[in-house]
Amino acid sequence: MAIPKNTNRVSTLREPQLAIVVAMTDDRVIGCKNQIPWDMPEERLLFREMTFDNTVIMGSHTFQSLEKPLANRINIVLTKSPKSFPGAITCRSFFQSLVLGLRIGKPIYVIGGVGPYQMALSVADCLHISWIKGTFKGDRYFPELDRRNWLAEEKRVYEGFSYVRYRRHIKAVTQP
Ligand SMILES: NC(=O)c1ccc[n+]([C@@H]2O[C@H](COP(=O)([O-])OP(=O)(O)OC[C@H]3O[C@@H](n4cnc5c(N)ncnc54)[C@H](OP(=O)(O)O)[C@@H]3O)[C@@H](O)[C@H]2O)c1
């Protein structure tokens, strides 16, 4: 897949945003048997609206769990393997995917799974979490979150889940 030319003048003038998007239960379940354990159309719609026309970075298992590449988004897939993933640009490291995302110049959303989330947690400035109500059996978990680093800026309650947008908490630098 060819790297699209950056035609969006506004996004080239400001820093592209790096965000994490995840849906998880209170006990941090995100997946089971390479699928999402719940079926929530409203949550999927929220995800689509948020990531639409932007760049998404994901691991190869997450990409393979999708029926097809995410439409109207630049799909970047992390893999160490030499194989290609139709409809996606492959990168061999998280760093490489970030450099590419920055060159493209659109907001970047890291959309899973566990490894990409872990890498993105130290650099993302924004965290979009859909907190799924109830308990679900899982075999994949979002990394432990240090809540002191994240400020909840917005909360919306939906049937079956609550959406919270967090911003990285920048500690004030004090003079010695
Ligand atoms: N609830 C949610 O919001 C959400 C979101 C996304 C995914 N999920 C769920 O999570 C599960 C999939 O996640 P997962 O953790 O098992 O797998 P994953 O992160 O999607 O994929 C793992 C693979 O990605 C590649 N990879 C990961 N980090 C890399 C890096 N830094 N450099 C190069 N390659 C890298 C490797 O691919 P190769 O083996 O090809 O080298 C690795 O084996 C599924 O159940 C899915 O439904 C849930």
Q: Tell me the C-alpha distance between 17 and 125, whole Å.
A: 7
The atom number, within ligand 1, closest to the CA of 34 reads 45
Cis bond leading into 113, ω under 30°? yes
The pLDDT of residue 170: 74
**Protein residue with least CA distance to atom 32, ligand 1:** 93
Indicate whether residue 37 lines ligand 1 (CB < 6 A).
no
Residue 62 near ligand 1, beta carbon < 6 Å: yes
Does 174 fall in a domain?
no
The CATH code of the domain that includes 101 is 3.40.430.10
Q: Is 82 a member of any domain?
A: yes
Closest C-alpha residue for ligand 1 atom 1: 30
In a domain, 173, yes or no: no
79: CA distance to ligand 1 center in Å?
A: 9
> Can you state the angle between helices 94-104 and 114-121, rounded to 10 degrees?
70
Residue 33 lies inside a defined structural domain of this protein: yes
Instruction: Tell me: pLDDT of 172 over 70.
Output: no
- Nearest in space to 43 (alpha carbons), one of 24, 17, 62: 24
CB 80 near ligand 1, within 6 Å: yes
Assigned domain for 1 exists: no
pLDDT in tens, 89-132: 999 999 999 999 999 999 999 999 999 999 999 999 999 999 99
Average pLDDT over residues 167-171: 82
Max avg pLDDT among 4-8, 14-18, 56-60: 56-60
Quick one: pLDDT at residue 171?
65
Domain count for the chain = 1
7 C-alpha to center of ligand 1: Å?
30
> Tell me: the pLDDT tens digits for 45-83?
999 999 999 999 999 999 999 999 999 999 999 999 999
Please name the amino acid found at residue 91.
Answer: C
- % of the chain beyond a pLDDT of 90: 84
Q: Is 172 left (phi over 0), alpha (psi -120 to 50) or beta?
A: beta
Domain membership flag for residue 95: yes
- pLDDT score of 124: 96
The structure tokens 């849906």 sit at: 23
Residue 175: its pLDDT value, please? Answer: 64
Q: How many Å lie between the centroid of ligand 1 and the Cα of residue 114?
A: 6
Cα separation, 3 vs 104, whole angstroms: 8
Tokens of 127: 């965290």
- Cβ 100 vs Cβ 18: under 8 Å: no
User: What's the chain's average pLDDT?
Assistant: 91
Whether this model's pTM surpasses 0.85: yes
